Amino acid sequence: MRYILLFSLNLLLIFQFSCGGGNSLDIEGDKEAVVLAENMVLELGGKKNWLNLKSIYIRTVSLDMVSGEPFAFEEWINLDEPKFMNHRIINDVHYFQIVDRNDGWVVQNSNVMLMQPDNVTKYLGWYDRFFMHNIKLLAIGGNQIEVKLNGENAFDVFVNSSFVAGFSLNDNNLPMKYVTPGTSQRFNIMNIDEWGEYKGYKYPLKITGENIRAHHQTDYWDAGTMDAESSFEISFDPYKIAESF
């Protein structure tokens, strides 16, 4: 009986390994597209890591392709809810933009203003297209998530039959092109030219694009297993931020 149990256990382990083990994604779609998505998530850190990831901090140096001027940009982003904040300094003035679901604020040094509803909607659309938000979406899965092949080493992601993102992978299963819905029937096309690695995750280090306004070089990237405020010891309260000036 002992040998039968050991043999059965070995068969189970072999089956789990052949099916991706703990990296199998709970998503619908073409078998080949599902395999591409699983390989990508595994290369980016694995399903378990992405399920544990609750928030991120990103500091980038960006080059505005219109003005030609570089600028530094900070972002604190929750991945389980549309709650995020960014910070930029222009002419010695600190600008913070904060979105918490359907509410938004702009802080300019000590001044707090409500964000215009159209801008809140714009930022919520950005959140839906955000690269790491959609990697987390694949890790969480569910029968509303479907993937379809779109060429060699490429697949598209749909949520409730609506297109949300497309990935084209290189030979190492890392995305080299990321496509999301744009305005006026156009697409936002992001090229990921270099990758960084930190805390078991891989993240875009250098981003260019075919129709995006700025090129971005990541200066620092951090991962949080709690919400952004707890992980990075910051406040999303616009009035507390304004008090610091």
Residues in CB range of 126: below 8 A, 6 or more apart = none
Q: Which of 183, 171, 76 is nearest to 129 (CA)?
A: 183
> How many residues in total does the chain contain?
245
Provide the whole-model pTM.
0.86
| CATH code of the domain occupying 22-243 | 2.50.20.10
Cβ atoms 221, 232 nearer than 8 A: no
Q: Given CA atoms 37, 41, 47, 53 in this order, what sign does their dihedral have?
A: negative
Give me the residue spans of the domains in the chain.
Answer: 22-243
pLDDT in tens, the chain (245 residues): 444 433 333 433 333 433 445 889 999 999 999 999 999 999 999 999 999 999 999 999 877 666 667 778 999 999 999 999 999 998 899 999 999 999 999 999 999 999 999 999 999 999 999 999 999 999 999 999 999 999 999 999 999 999 999 999 999 999 999 999 986 657 889 999 999 999 999 999 998 876 666 678 899 999 999 999 999 999 999 999 999 98
